[in-house]
Amino acid sequence: MQKDTNAILETLVCTVDSESCMKGVCSKCKTRGIVYEKNNRERIVPLRQWVRKSEVVEKGGKKIKISKNVPVTENHTIQEVIQIFENELMNFRTHLYNIQHQYKAYRQCIDGLTGTEVALHIDFSENYASKYHSEVQSHHFGSRNQVTLNTAVMYNYSTETQSIEVTSYSTVSSNQNHGPSAIWAHLHPILSEVKNKHPIVTTVHFFSDGPATQYKQKINFYLMANRFFENY
């Protein structure tokens, strides 16, 4: 049996580039499977997995419920481990195809930009602590102010050079809010510059990660549908 998941996939599907193959609905390869050894299927073995668990913590004098990923080791029979692996393998196949498809769509968008389009790749950086060039020791512990960085890379097609140009931005704020209102406060100077420097642009493609509390959520979609037309 292959130990590398990519090598395993190549034996199970016609091609990793096919959606029907990777999602298990291709008529030619959907019945393919991994051949396991039949010995010792009832033997107990340890299985270490990352699982999501909820716990209650105290923050600011209040108890809040949080979720986090933790490693857990459990004992299973080899047959149970095989079944768990088979279930996760199908999820992995779909996940891998989605990653490949998203990257291809991303490259097609960037490489195919016209003079009336720009693409913005945006992401919040980690929060940074500010410090003085010279400071007392007590200031080091808990007294430093933090700043939030929102980074952006803009791609646009230059009709002068007939090539894709890249411009990097970073906006800084003492407000640590990463919600929709903060996102548009960070984007405002960037979009204003796009409007001034590239007045013929009519389409902006946004690329971001997927935290539900930040970019990809209903309030942000509402602001995008309205703020864009009001200000830009």
Domain span at residue 174 reads 112-130+142-231
2 pLDDT tier (thresholds 50, 70, 90) = low
Burial (0-12, 13-18, 19+ Cβ within 10 Å), 191: buried
Is the pLDDT at 142 greater than 80? The verdict is no
Do 119 and 95 fall into the same domain? no
Q: Tell me, what amino acid is at 222?
A: Y
pLDDT in tens, 17-34: 999 999 999 999 999 998
The answer to whether 41 touches 72, Cβ cutoff 8 Å, is: no
Q: How far apart are CA 29 and CA 180, in angstroms?
A: 44
Closest alpha carbon to 188 in 147, 122, 148, 232: 232
Residue 176 DSSP symbol = -
Token pair belonging to 121: 């790749």
pLDDT in tens, 107-124: 999 999 999 999 999 988
Q: What is the pTM of this model?
A: 0.73
Do 215 and 176 fall into the same domain? yes
Do 78 and 116 fall into the same domain? no
Domain count, the chain: 2
pLDDT in tens, 161-215: 999 999 999 998 888 778 888 888 888 999 999 999 999 999 999 998 876 667 7
Closest alpha carbon to 206 in 230, 172, 180, 173: 180
Do 29 and 95 fall into the same domain? yes
Do 91 and 184 fall into the same domain? no
Is the pLDDT at 81 greater than 70? The verdict is yes
Q: Is residue 136 part of a domain?
A: no
